[in-house]
Chains A and B, each alone.
Chain A
Amino acid sequence: MKVLIIGNGVAGVTCALHLRQLDAKADIAIVSGETPHFFSRTALMYAYMNHMNRRDLEPYERGVWKQQRIELIQAWVKELKPGAAIRDDGREIPWDRLVIASGSTPNRFAWKGIDKVQDGLVNFVSMQDLDACERLTPSTRRAAVVGGGLIGVELVECLRHFGREVVFLVREPWYWPAALGAEEAAFVTEHLRAHGVDVHLGEELDEILTDSAGRVRGLRVKSGGEISCEMLGVCAGVRPAADWLKQTTLGVACGRGVIVNDRFETNIPQVWACGDVAEIHRPGQPPLIEQIWYSAKRQGAAAARNVAGIPANYEPPLFFNSSKFFDIEYTTVGDVMRLPAGTPTIYRRLPDRPVSQRIAHDGGRVLGFNMLGSRWNHEILERWILERRSPEFVLEHLEAAQFDVEFGRAPLRRMTGESLPLKKAGAP
């Protein structure tokens, strides 16, 4: 049995490694265009800032692939036919079973002037993006970054690391309303400003200005002003990398991503899809596209079982994640900002440090947590939600979920708090 996996991201690689555990004999190959080896996309910023070498981004020693008998092919797949994938150089790779794990691709919008841009515009998703960022940084005095999410703030941090002036354009009224409440966003923004970032809230890119050679020289914003900059980072979200599939003859059904059921089966027999590219349809539920590291990993592992013929229905966990804005760490459980506006929350803060906790509830039971500035054990927070604990119980036992370093627990007793109904961007 020849299994071909397209994409050596975490979904594809986890699928391959799990498949090897389930089936010692299968021929497993991974074809991927971006890099010869699996690397940690989440750590691009650390390579940019020289905290890591590129080789350090590889989560497995290179010997693992040989030891696990997983063939690695570096090439872009341009065409899929029944039983064969066609590489960009025209060569064919045969398959009996196919797993599509082509990940995400950055969003771009039809901004005025974008057609004239030859250089100076970057995304921050691929290794090639990192190459471009590194090439452009020396000739950049000021950079603008569009898009108020996690990747945007990571790119901003890198540019500040090299002492570049940075203008950060956030379209929404506060930073990252999909994840942060207005109160948290306010002090994260304050923190960014303290790090020298020129944050513009509620501001949108209107036109990109270029010089005669096509290099970005500035931009005009919707409110009318002009900002000069030599580099423009576009971090306005990602979408499933499925466009290329729509041009192939295999006929894999796509919506926003590759449409699969909860066993990662596509409409074509013997073809599966998992990771950022998968759009999962479950009976009675809205389509699900998960674009985070652990979901790609879990999907890859679950897909491997189905590919190996062991049925496994995928069920996403209660949402949790963590990230970091310069020095402020962030842990969330329960997708707080998806709750309706007006949901009661307990919001507490340390007066003198950027440390806050938000506990969303419905009066009787806790629904979610948004914690900034200190470390939390999401496994315990998750359990409290699943056990339908009351806000009083949670507040009383909160210490048990702290995960700060020894001697460094955030002082819960000094937190001052209030009850706040959840505000949402765009809602009154």
Chain B
Amino acid sequence: MKPMTAAEWLEHSNQNRGAVAWLLAAALTGFYLVLYFTEWLNPAAKALGLDGKWTLYGLLYTIAIIAGGIHVMRKYRRNRYQLVRTAVVIFVQLTFAFSIPQLLKFLGKPELYFSYLWPLKIDYLDPRNFHHYPLPFVIYSIVGSFIAVPVLTLLYGKRWYCSWVCGCGGLANTFGEPWRHLSAKSGLAWRIEKITIHAVLVIAVAITSLWFASAVLPEHQPLARAGDLTRQWYGLLVVSMLSGVAGVGLYPIGGTRVWCRFFCPMAALLGLIQKLGRFRIRVKRDMCISCGLCTKYCEMGIDVRAYAQSNRGFTRASCVGCGLCAEVCPRGVLRLENVSRRDPQELTLQSFLDESWKGGYSSPAWRE
């Protein structure tokens, strides 16, 4: 038996799918169900002088990111990458994801979130919305999604978005810190992830295409209706259930990046671009002691150790570049880098489809 005080037991139970974790998960999931499917939170919001439940939610979300962010900055105070990154996450949440949209609403303008882009917010590229949005925002959305996102991702990897800007990632990396190690690491999880995440991307692209088709061909109303119907289901299933209820509600059970890893269409797209870009995790030769901390603390369930112990630098589509593997590694084996050299990534269809060496074994430990 390990020595445990009451506080240690609480922490252990919380972080290892114990009773505390299940209770918390039930509470969080319950909160999201109430939020999405009832109006019960409106009175509470009104009592606080807010205009409705969504503003209350935004406020709570921001508080969670700030409080969690401060905790994370203290915990990793020796790691400048974590300090800078977390500070940016807090800043983006406070401004682009909360104050600015509230201010716009207060000024009687549409409530716009500059930190979200298509295909995460598919509505931003619904041509019918272009009439209500200010023109600069329409331009921002289009340039953002089709030029800025790919270029930045080629240069810096998907991390610039997924773990510096995005609110979903922001919550995971701050409030979600105690549960990051719970992500599934099995080969099975990896096979499921490949299918689900790309399926959601395909659906998001399909909906947008239907909208555009109906805008270009206005006589084809069924196209727009098909798009809208799909959008309704998408909203219920993907946005409410997967990103909210399952994505955050199950933090204490399934780990923090379930949404980002299995479902987020933005992450899927950025991941594919990342495979072509400069970002990689560099591995020092023969320095890994296979301790497994990197794998354990990877929130995306990447078996980092599998690469490190076989001396392979790598770029995984799912890697959000949070940098925690490099932080926890007790032998300083790993380093996040942006380099223009093509190696170690081979650009074959195989490397896109099956990036995992999990089942297999190959090690260049022996060199002639």
Contact = CB atoms under 8 A, between A and B. Distances in A.
Contact of A406 (B187, B309, B336, B361): B336
Interface string A6-24: 0000100010011011000
B108 to A, nearest CB: 41
B331 to A, nearest CB: 5
B199 interface: no
B132 interface: no
A375 B81 contact: no
Interface in B348-364: 358-363
A134 B290 contact: no
Contacts of A64: 359, 361
B293 A43 contact: yes
A392 interface: no
B359 A61 contact: yes
Interface residues of B, number: 43
B291 A301 contact: no
A42 B290 contact: yes
A59 B309 contact: yes
Interface stretch (A44-52, A113-121, A207-215, A359-367): A44-52
A139 B327 CA distance: 33
* Most A C-beta atoms less than 10 A away, residue of B12, B16, B330, B336: B330
A323 B330 CA distance: 7
Interface in A13-66: 14, 17-18, 20-21, 40, 42-43, 46, 50-53, 56-61, 63-64
A63 B331 contact: no
A379 B285 contact: yes
Interface string B320-347: 0001001100111001100000000000
Contacts of B290: 10, 40, 42-43, 59, 293
A405 B2 contact: no
B310 to A, nearest CB: 10
Contact of A63 (B83, B187, B289): B187
A134 B1 contact: yes
Nearest to B333: A322
A10 B305 CA distance: 14
A75 to B, nearest CB: 24
Interface string A314-333: 00010010111001010100
A162 B5 CA distance: 10
* Most A C-beta atoms less than 10 A away, residue of B83, B84, B366: B366
Given A67-B359, A407-B84, A52 B293 contact: yes
A17 B80 contact: no
Interface of B: 1-3, 12, 16, 78-84, 186-187, 284-287, 289-293, 295-296, 305, 309, 323, 326-327, 330-332, 335-336, 358-363, 365-366
11 contacts: A46-B293, A51-B296, A57-B291, A58-B292, A61-B186, A298-B365, A301-B363, A329-B330, A331-B332, A375-B332, A379-B285
